[in-house]
């Protein structure tokens, strides 16, 4: 194969990784802080995509990119206050059942409101077209989504590592009881983290609506891949998830590049298998006492 | 009077009681015979074929409404039990339950070729007729055929031959390079084999045939490969929402090689939208077909559901129409009599320019097929009429059997 094509496939894989990253970061945050394995995360991604369709005629596509995730995040706060909060202190198995049910309720609600047929949604005119960089051609829209993703991920890193909010969240991940003895209530932080995590899934949904088929069950594929990313990256590690998302994207693209496209999806599970064998805690997973 | 005299009081009471019961029971028995004819309907309502399944159910509901409004089947109401077939295992279990517990007279439906086969096996074992409305695989009409299984849905070979004619007429086959993204399951493999045979016969060359998992949604890596391969034609062996996703991203990456495919549902065009839908595709039926019956059906459907029917709705509607006619003609629901009738060459109105009939050797409904071509975005007036339809791809003087030539699914032999 030509080197140019091979390199462009690797680069495309890296870029593809950002798509998983937005979903996986939220998933990882919510689990790390509250111990909730959020199986409804994919459904929130779908809600985000439908938000784009509903909001774009009123506030334009770029308005939807801002308003959509905020609304999905607000929905996240409602879900956290009504449901998640009852499950923080008990076996994660129960939250697994809860969020599995929640995913079905959300999916069926979308089906009832919008029907199950996929809905059409287009790339906004200003972002149509391609960018040529030597041999490499890329979609202008995807470059836009990557810029948005990079900005959001950087902002999240800053929030978690450079602010008082982030310090408390990180402390809460390690040891919520000590925080409690210091007189800090985790409750508002749990809500905020749910809003951020679920809002990120909503953002991914809005961004994917123009290039993926929008239908109620669209969250399933991405949810499974996001879980793989979290497991490979390791719990509690921001950079672990980032690294794993890129790795998953590259491995998938690589399989297509070497004409083994039928192994493209399977390869990420193999990757997870190998990582779990070698490093059960994930590539950069931290030791979290209460999960040991 | 000897009879009465020889009977004692108890015997008289017993006989009288029995006669009285018999008189009371008689209307019940009569009512049972006049009760509804119950058919089973199975189709996926969830997963990547779920959206098509919804259209199937809409078609069924409309057919039941129409058939009953016209006096039912032999004066009896038609009732249809509808369930989500989910996957082959569940489809098989549910088919069995419908037959054994609910006593359905026949089963119709399905979209996935794998589930079609599973239901076909149950139908064969229990001696119940099953009319497949959505499974395309040639093998179902070939080595996996069943005496009790009939196919209203066109088989892959018919789509291939129909779409192939379009490409041949456009001079896009001989000496041309083809790229064939293919769904990685029975349906896609089947189409790929058919496409290979078609290109071999007509001197086309395959420059790529990537297999794509059914739940894959990102095709960017394949787009880069297609651009690098510079094919003359991109033909999709994909299904369901895959086609929609592929078309959206094909437009996104600015690829403009002639595109088409060997399997298609109008829903994929609608979901891609006028900006993204392009190329020429085979169509078993679409709402723009210019016959009085098709237009009447499209109108009745739109009046009820507020949107035009998808071809899957047509297929499930038509299957029930065919069953209603067959049961009326044989005056009952006996499976052997039904099979004999359906194999007899009896013709059915399919809302097309000529009627169709079942091929007795494979139980495939032979019928005209069409090609639809995307309208340029500027000419699109509403979200539904985003393509134009050809007339039947076969000339009126060409036999329908032409469409099943070179099917790749093996030979069909019905077990006696």
Residue-by-residue pLDDT tens, chain B, 416 positions: 344 444 454 554 554 454 444 444 444 444 445 689 999 999 999 877 888 999 999 999 999 999 999 999 999 999 999 999 999 999 999 999 999 999 999 999 999 989 999 999 999 999 999 999 999 989 999 999 999 999 999 999 999 999 998 899 899 999 999 999 999 888 888 899 999 999 999 999 999 999 998 878 899 999 999 999 999 999 999 987 889 999 999 999 999 999 999 888 999 999 999 989 999 999 999 999 999 999 999 999 999 999 999 999 999 999 999 999 999 999 999 999 999 999 999 999 999 999 999 999 999 999 999 999 999 989 999 999 999 999 999 989 999 999 998 888 889 999 76
Mutation target among A108, A117, A259 for the B interface, most CBs of B within 10 A:
A117
pLDDT, position B226: 94
Nearest-neighbour CA in chain B from A138: distance (Å) = 7
> Is B296 found in the same domain as B277?
no
Interface-testing mutation among B50, B221, B251, B266, with chain A (most A C-beta atoms within 10 A)? B221
Give how many domains chain B has, as a whole number: 3
CATH of the domain at B145: 3.40.50.2300
CB contact under 8 A, A120 and B272: yes
* Residue B89 CB coordination number (10 Å): 12
- Minimal C-alpha gap between A262 and chain B (Å): 5
Examine the domain organization and report whether B149 and B195 are in the same domain: no
Q: What are phi and psi of B81, to 5 degrees?
A: -85, 120
CB contact (8 A) between residue A212 and residue B217: yes
Task: Determine, for residues B228 and A5 on separate chains, whether the beta-carbon distance falls below 8 Å.
Answer: yes
- Helix, strand, or coil (residue B253): coil
Same domain flag for B166 and B230 = yes
Q: Are strands A136-139 and A130-133 parallel, antiparallel or unpaired?
A: antiparallel
Q: Are residues B358 and B222 in the same domain?
A: no
Is B406 inside a domain boundary? no
Which contiguous run of DSSP H or E holds residue B235?
strand B233-236
Concatenate the DSSP letters of all residues of chain A into one string. Answer: --HHHHHHHHHHHHHHHHHHHHHHHHHHHHHHHH----TTHHHHHHHHHHHHHHHHHHHHHHHHHHHHHHHHHHHHHHHHHHTGGGGTTS-HHHHHHHHHHHHHHHHHHHHHHH-SSPBP----GGG-SEEEETTEEEEHHHHHHHHHHHHHHHHHHHHHHHSHHHHHHHHHHH-HHHHHHTT--SHHHHHHHHHHHHHHHHHHHHHHTTTS-B-TTTHHHHHHHHHHHHHHH-TT-HHHHHHHHHHHHHHHHHHHHTT-GGGHHHHHHHHHHHHHHH-TT-TT----GGG-
**Mutation for testing the B interface, residue in A213, A219, A258 having most B CBs under 10 Å:** A213
Chain B, window 31-60: residues with a beta carbon less than 8 angstroms from a chain A beta carbon: 45-48, 50-51, 53-55
On whether both B232 and B184 belong to a single domain, the answer is yes
- Dihedral pair phi/psi, residue A200, rounded to 5°: -65, -40
Claim to verify: residue B175 and residue B202 sit in the same structural domain: yes
Cα B190 to Cα B138: distance, rounded to the nearest angstrom: 7
Full residue range of the structural domain in which residue B66 is found = 34-155+290-368
Range A3-291 has CATH code 2.20.28:
no
Residues of chain A with pLDDT under 50: none
In a domain, B408, yes or no: no
pLDDT confidence of residue B3: 41
Instruction: Tell me whether residues B252 and A215 touch, CB distance under 8 A.
Output: no
Whole-angstrom Cα distance, residue B196 to residue B205?
A: 9
Would you call B273 helix, strand, or coil by DSSP? coil
B80 in a structural domain: yes
DSSP β-ladder status, B370-374 and B356-358: unpaired
- Contact state of B270 with A213 under an 8 Å Cβ cutoff: no
Query: Tens digits of per-residue pLDDT, A99-140?
Result: 999 999 999 999 999 988 889 999 999 999 998 877 778 899
B111 and B176: one domain?
no
Of the candidates B187, B183, B194, which has an alpha carbon nearest to the alpha carbon of residue B153? Answer: B187
Exposure class string for A126-156: b at 16+ Cβ within 10 A, else e: ebbebeeeeeebbbebbebbbebbeebbeeb
Q: Check CB contact of B254 with chain A, cutoff 8 Å.
A: yes
Decide if B327 is inside a domain. Answer: yes
Q: Are B109 and B10 in the same domain?
A: no
- Whether residues B15 and B126 fall in one domain: no
Q: What is the pLDDT of residues A3-39, one digit of tens each?
A: 878 888 888 888 889 889 999 999 999 988 888 999 9
Round to whole Å and give the CA distance between B107 and B95. Answer: 8
Inter-residue contact B288 to B314 (CB < 8 Å): no
Strand locations in B272-391 (E): 280-283, 347-348, 356-358, 365-366, 370-374, 387-389
B241 and B214 housed in the same domain: yes
Residue B407 located in a structural domain: no
Q: Which residues of B touch A217 (CB under 8 A)?
A: 46-48, 50
Tell me phi and psi for residue B103, to 5 degrees. Answer: 60, 40
| CB within 8 Å: A217 and B46 | yes
Residues of A in contact with B222 (CB under 8 A): 256, 261
10 Å CB burial of residue B265 (0-12, 13-18, 19+) is buried
| Inter-chain contacts counted by CB atoms under 8 A, chains A and B | 128
Residue B50: list chain A partners with CB under 8 A.
116, 215, 217
pLDDT at B88 (0 to 100): 95
Q: Contacts of residue A262 in chain B, CB cutoff 8 Å?
A: 184, 210-213
> Is B197 in the same domain as B332?
no
Contact: A262, B245; criterion CB under 8 Å: no
User: Does B386 lie in the same domain as B241?
Assistant: yes
């Amino acid at each position: 194969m030509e080197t140019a094509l091979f390199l462009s496939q690797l680069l495309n894989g890296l870029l593809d990784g950002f798509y998983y990253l937005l979903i996986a970061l939220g998933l990882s945050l919510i689990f790390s802080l509250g111990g909730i394995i959020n199986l409804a995360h994919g459904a929130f991604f779908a809600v985000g995509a439908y938000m784009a369709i509903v909001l774009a005629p009123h506030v334009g596509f770029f308005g939807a990119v801002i308003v959509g995730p905020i609304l999905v995040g607000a929905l996240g706060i409602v879900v956290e206050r009504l449901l998640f909060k009852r499950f923080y202190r008990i076996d994660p198995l129960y939250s697994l059942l809860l969020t599995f049910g929640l995913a079905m309720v959300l999916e069926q609600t979308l089906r009832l409101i919008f029907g199950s047929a996929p809905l059409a949604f287009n790339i906004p005119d200003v972002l149509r077209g391609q960018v040529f960089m030597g041999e490499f051609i890329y979609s202008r829209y995807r470059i836009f989504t990557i810029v948005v993703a990079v900005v959001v991920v950087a902002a999240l890193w800053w929030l978690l590592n450079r602010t008082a909010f982030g310090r408390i969240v990180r402390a809460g991940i390690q040891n919520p009881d000590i925080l409690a003895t210091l007189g800090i209530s985790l409750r508002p932080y749990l809500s905020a983290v749910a809003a951020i995590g679920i809002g990120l899934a909503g953002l991914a949904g809005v961004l994917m609506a123009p290039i993926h088929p929008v239908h109620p069950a669209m969250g399933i594929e991405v949810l499974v891949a996001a879980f793989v990313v979290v497991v490979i990256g390791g719990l509690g590690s921001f950079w672990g998830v980032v690294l794993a998302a890129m790795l998953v994207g590259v491995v998938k693209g690589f399989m297509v590049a070497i004409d083994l496209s039928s192994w493209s999806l399977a390869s990420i599970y193999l990757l997870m298998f190998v990582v779990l064998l070698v490093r059960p805690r994930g590539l950069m997973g931290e030791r979290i006492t209460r999960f040991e | 009077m000897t009879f009465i005299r020889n009977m004692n009081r108890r015997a008289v009471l017993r006989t009288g009681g029995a006669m009285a019961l018999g008189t009371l029971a008689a209307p019940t028995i009569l009512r049972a015979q006049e009760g509804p004819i119950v058919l089973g309907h199975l189709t996926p309502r969830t997963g990547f074929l779920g959206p098509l399944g919804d259209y199937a159910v809409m078609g069924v509901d409309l057919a039941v409404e129409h058939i009953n409004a016209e006096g039912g089947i032999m004066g009896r109401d038609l009732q249809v039990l509808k369930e989500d077939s989910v996957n082959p295992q569940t489809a098989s279990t549910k088919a069995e339950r419908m037959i054994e517990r609910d006593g359905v007279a026949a089963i119709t439906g399905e979209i996935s070729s794998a589930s079609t086969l599973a239901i076909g096996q149950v139908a064969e074992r229990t001696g119940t007729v099953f009319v497949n409305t959505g499974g395309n695989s040639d093998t179902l009409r070939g080595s996996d055929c069943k005496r009790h299984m009939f196919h209203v849905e066109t088989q892959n070979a018919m789509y291939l031959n129909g779409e192939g004619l379009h490409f041949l007429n456009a001079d896009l086959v001989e000496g041309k390079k083809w790229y064939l993204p293919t769904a990685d399951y029975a349906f896609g493999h089947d189409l790929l084999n058919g496409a290979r045979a078609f290109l071999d016969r007509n001197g086309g060359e395959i420059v790529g045939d990537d297999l794509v998992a059914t739940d894959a949604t990102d095709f960017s890596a394949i787009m880069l490969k297609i651009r690098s391969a510079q094919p003359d034609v991109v033909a999709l062996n994909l299904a369901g929402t895959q086609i929609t996703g592929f078309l959206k991203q094909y437009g996104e990456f600015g690829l403009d090689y002639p595109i088409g495919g060997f399997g298609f549902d109008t829903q994929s065009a609608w979901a891609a939208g006028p900006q993204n839908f392009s190329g020429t595709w085979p169509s078993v039926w679409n709402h723009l077909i210019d016959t009085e019956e098709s237009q009447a059906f499209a109108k009745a459907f739109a009046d009820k559901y507020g949107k035009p029917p998808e071809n899957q709705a047509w297929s499930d509607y038509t299957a029930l129409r065919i069953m209603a006619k067959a049961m009326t003609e044989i005056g009952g629901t006996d499976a052997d009599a039904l099979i004999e009738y359906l194999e007899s060459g009896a013709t059915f109105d399919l809302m097309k320019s000529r009627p169709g009939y079942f091929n007795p050797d494979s139980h495939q409904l032979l019928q005209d097929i069409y090609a639809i071509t995307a309208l340029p975005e500027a000419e699109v007036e509403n979200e539904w009429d985003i393509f134009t339809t050809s007339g039947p791809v076969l000339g009126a003087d060409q036999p329908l059997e032409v469409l099943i030539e070179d099917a790749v699914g093996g030979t069909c032999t019905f077990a006696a």
